[in-house]
Homo-oligomer: A and B are copies of this chain.
Amino acid sequence: MELELVTIGNELLLGFTLDTNAVEFATALTEAGVRLARTTTVADDGPAIRDAVVDGLKRTGFVVTTGGLGPTRDDITKKVVADIFDAPLELDVEYLEKLRERFARLGRGPMPETNRTQAEVPRGAVKLKNRWGTAPGLWLEGAPGVVVMLPGVPREMNGLLREELVPRLKKRMDGGDALVIRSKMLRTTGVSESALADVLHGVDEQLAPVTLAYLPNPHGADLRLTAWNVPASEAEAMLERSAGVIQPLLGSWFYAEGDTDLAEVVLNGLQQAGHKLAVAESCTGGLVGQRLTAIAGASAVFVGGVVAYDDSVKESILGVPHDLLEAVGAVSEEVAEAMVDGVAARFGVDAAVAVTGVAGPSGGTPEKPVGMVCLAARVGQARKVTTVHIPGDRDGVRQRSAQAALNLVRRLIP
């Protein structure tokens, strides 16, 4: 099965917006074994949208659009597609009522009249439930083929894609043993891409037909194993076999499969070992806490933290001795250790991590340059302190510091 994607928005063609929808879409289709034959981006312009959709229908008979379903007047996808199918737009009274209820429930007062158009549906279209916003997805099928319209807001597009479109595509395909493309990710951190490549040198040949790709990112380097065009029934086993070859070579750099975040690995590990965690952050300013609390259920392990951005807070809340700060400076292993002990005592926990560093762009000195970060962690009786030097800009230093802090905790978990 194959289809085409038409993304709609002036924003994309003006370079104002990076099109993340296209990659999300492509990934989900590949996973589902559907071939994305072409992606076309056009402006918020009736004739241009019409051309792209009609051409795509001629080639594949199946087009998905993203964008142009919002309540404002520049959103015209629905009208154009309804016109291609010769299907009049009809007011869905039941949906209009739901929209009104939604506005009332969220305490936003009466629904603005501009939202009314969102309850208009081309005759014969199936609505796809949008739990993330007010514009439903629409599936329209007829003589020209199939057009599925999704909203362009990434959160809504992605939700509808995963929960509505992909399941329907799967049902549509025949139930036999189709050839699929499947992949599996092994995540590593605390190691460079080239060091990984050295360790894995020559392993590629043992994996064929599975291929190996390196995906470096601010959280480490992910390794993607991909089985290309293999029977669906064999794909998982092939990937498992390849992962079994590679994972032992990765040692403690490896921390998870798939898209599991390191924060989740840390929370699970601490929970199993019966620890509670607190954090003390300086240069990361709340980022470590943010990473941990992004995981639902974090409260079982994470009790809280202190953002000790100003040195006075390191003293008053974390009890770092004034003389120590004077003697060795805030960015030092000694202060990181005092911070970790301070926050553990203060919060009454036996696991903690502290970060203090120079995020830049200013504030660096020859002895303590931008990117120098001191980290200390405790898990029960085990403790470790370390200093790392991180290249990159302020955001990069902060991201990698938070990752290093979480990794330090992970490696102390028994």
Contacts and interface: CB of A to CB of B under 8 A. Distances in A.
A38 B47 CA distance: 12
A395 B398 CA distance: 20
Given A194-B114, A294-B285, A303-B313, A24 B15 contact: yes
A22 B14 contact: no
B310 A307 contact: no
A312 interface: yes
A310 B303 contact: yes
A22 B198 CA distance: 31
A contact residues, range:
35 or more
A107 interface: yes
Interface in A296-333: 296-299, 302-310, 312-313, 316-317
A348 to B, nearest CB: 7
A96 B216 CA distance: 21
A382 interface: no
A284 B10 CA distance: 33
For the residues of A in contact with B, the DSSP-based class is mixed
Contacts of A281: 286, 289
Nearest to A22: B19
Candidate in A13, A215, A303 with the most chain B CB atoms within 10 angstroms: A13
Contact of A306 (B102, B108, B215, B305): B305
Contacts of A70: 193, 214, 216
A293 to B, nearest CB: 3
Nearest to A118: B194
B309 A313 contact: no
Contact of A26 (B13, B108, B398): B13
Given A286-B288, A286-B290, A298-B309, A25 B15 contact: yes
Interface string A22-56: 11111111100001111111111000100010010
Interface stretch (A79-87, A238-246, A249-257, A385-393): A385-393
B26 A15 contact: yes
A115 interface: yes
A237 to B, nearest CB: 20
Contacts of A392: 132, 155
A412 interface: no
Given A17-B23, A306-B306, A312-B348, A285 B296 contact: no
Contact of A108 (B114, B192, B211, B302): B192
A60 to B, nearest CB: 11
Given A41-B39, A394-B296, A287 B286 contact: yes
22 contacts: A12-B23, A14-B30, A15-B23, A15-B27, A17-B23, A71-B193, A73-B204, A106-B389, A113-B198, A132-B392, A153-B216, A155-B218, A281-B286, A285-B302, A286-B288, A286-B292, A289-B307, A296-B394, A304-B310, A305-B306, A312-B348, A317-B347
